[in-house]
Structure 1
Amino acid sequence: MVLKLYGHTHSTCTARVAAVLTEYKVPFELVIVDLFKGEHKSPEYLAFQPFGQLPYINDDGLIIYESRAISRYIAAKYRSNVSSAWLPLPEDIAKTAKFEQAVNTEAFKFDAFASTAAFELFWKPGGPDAEYAKKLLENLNASLDAYEVILSKQKYLAGDELTLADIFHLPYANLLHNAKHINLEDEKRPNVARWWKELSTLPSWLAVKDGVKSPA
């Protein structure tokens, strides 16, 4: 049974999972959840994703939700599909610790501001609170200043190997950068710019960034 990804073509978190599926060469079927009709809040959907958010997967009967958890599952299960995995082996305690540190950095120092700012700026009913959005972006830029320090000492957030911790940034970073709410190519942060250039041009991301669809 082909893996089914329940999400939406232009959902940020669906794109995060789709990029990982693409990188790991996992065939999948995108099952569109119509947000405008409220399908993500229907009893049928909530039976599998009780928070009514996108996406979730069904991998031969195994249901997993939360895009980061799905991505880690894919990277672990399909490791043999790639020559260089985005997830350290669990027995490598040092790399795993650095990876967990980087994952938490992304979640609490980047996404906490980026995803909230994106909602405020693009999707909030009635429009944004300009002062709140400004504060979120100020906090996000402060985090990017810290990223510059980290990335001046190593290639990626968890060390010198690309991992899911880097990949997790892509959807909201892409959205806010393209809308010019943040500048990931700022010459004042050359290492962030170098990091972002590599991430944003990964073939697996380019394949999904403008809209997720089932592979041909």
Structure 2
Amino acid sequence: MVLKLYGTPEAVGTTLAVAMTLAEKQIPFKLVPVDLQVDAHKTPEFLALQPWGQVPVIDEDGFILFESRAICRYLAQKYESQGTPLMPAVDDVEGRALFEQAAAVEISHFHLHAWTIYFEGMGKARKGLEKDQAVWERAVEELSRKLDVYEEILGKQKYLAGDEFSLVDIFHISFGALLRPAGCDLMKTKGPNIARWWKDITSRPSLKNLRLGRPIISTAL
């Protein structure tokens, strides 16, 4: 049975991260679109899969898994021998520790600010709500401070977890790719090391083929 990905019809947010991981690992999948605009994620049928009523979710032969970072780790480890290596090998203790360190940095120092910029800059409008400019500006200011450290890190290594592309970079794309549409251009203007890294990871064929904000096409035969 082909893996099912329950997610947004378009390549955005955390659904984009899972779809990009599937592409990097060359895993066939069937998209089951969940239209958030009509609350399809709050139906009893969907809540039976994901009790929090959030996307994405995968179903692989009856194995149900939610939370995008958990899904991506699962795919990277189960399909370790195919496609792009996205995590250090289990027996590479130091490499795995540095990977987890970088993953913790993403969720602690990047995600909340990037999500807030997106939500105030785009998400609220989709819900018919008014943007809080002060909240948006504070989030931009906070992210800018965090990216000062990113600039230093990326001056010493090619990617966030070291010199190899990894899931950590994909995690940043989830909402990092929505910053510019939400009115924030920090990923290109903050510093040369960040700009170099961002151009690198957003130029990968797996992401280009998905086309940010466009409908996701299943790869199942």
The TM-score, its normalising length taken from structure 1, stands at 0.94
Q: Which residue of 2 aligns with 1:74?
A: 75
Distance 1:158 1:36 in 2: 35
Distance 2:36 2:62 in 1: 24
Distance 2:113 2:185 in 1: 12
Contact 1:14 1:55 in 2 (8 A): yes
Distance 1:151 1:36 in 2: 38
Q: Which residue of 2 aligns with 1:113?
A: 113
Distance 1:32 1:172 in 2: 19
Distance 1:36 1:192 in 2: 33
2:178 is equivalent to residue 175 of structure 1: yes
Question: Which deviates the most, 206-215 or 47-56?
Answer: 206-215
Which of 137, 149, 153 matches 1:146? 149
What's the Cα RMSD here? Answer: 1.4
2:162 is equivalent to residue 191 of structure 1: no
Contact 1:141 1:182 in 2 (8 A): no
Shift in Å, 1:213: 2.0
Distance 2:160 2:28 in 1: 28
2:219 is equivalent to residue 215 of structure 1: yes
Contact 1:2 1:29 in 2 (8 A): yes
Paired letter, 2:55: L
Contact 1:16 1:67 in 2 (8 A): yes
Q: For each residue in 1:22-53, what CA deviation from the matched residue of structure 2 results, as whole angstroms up to 9, or x when unmatched?
A: 11110000001122221100111111101111
Contact 1:137 1:181 in 2 (8 A): yes
Distance 1:37 1:62 in 2: 26
Paired letter, 1:169: H
Moved over 2 A (4+): 177-180
Paired letter, 2:184: H
2:190 is equivalent to residue 200 of structure 1: no
Which of 119, 134, 142 matches 1:131? 134
Contact 2:122 2:182 in 1 (8 A): no
Distance 2:177 2:38 in 1: 26
Contact 2:115 2:175 in 1 (8 A): yes
Q: Which residue of 1 aligns with 2:4?
A: 4
* Aligned residues between the structures: 214
Shift in Å, 1:179: 4.3
Contact 1:155 1:195 in 2 (8 A): yes
Gaps of 5+ in 2: none
- Give me the identity figure in percent: 45
Q: Which residue of 2 aligns with 1:54?
A: 55
1 or 2 for the larger relative contact order (CA 8 Å, sep ≥6)?
2
Paired letter, 2:218: S
Contact 1:79 1:85 in 2 (8 A): yes
Contact 1:121 1:127 in 2 (8 A): no
Shift in Å, 1:80: 1.2
Q: For each residue in 1:45-102, what CA deviation from the matched residue of structure 2 results, as whole angstroms up to 9, or x when unmatched?
A: 11110111111000111000011111111111111112x4011112211011100110
Distance 2:198 2:181 in 1: 12
Q: For each residue in 1:143-171, what CA deviation from the matched residue of structure 2 results, as whole angstroms up to 9, or x when unmatched?
A: 11110000011111111111111111113
Distance 2:3 2:151 in 1: 38
The TM-score, its normalising length taken from structure 2, stands at 0.92
SS in structure 2 at match of 1:63: strand
SS in structure 2 at match of 1:167: helix
SS in structure 2 at match of 1:6: strand
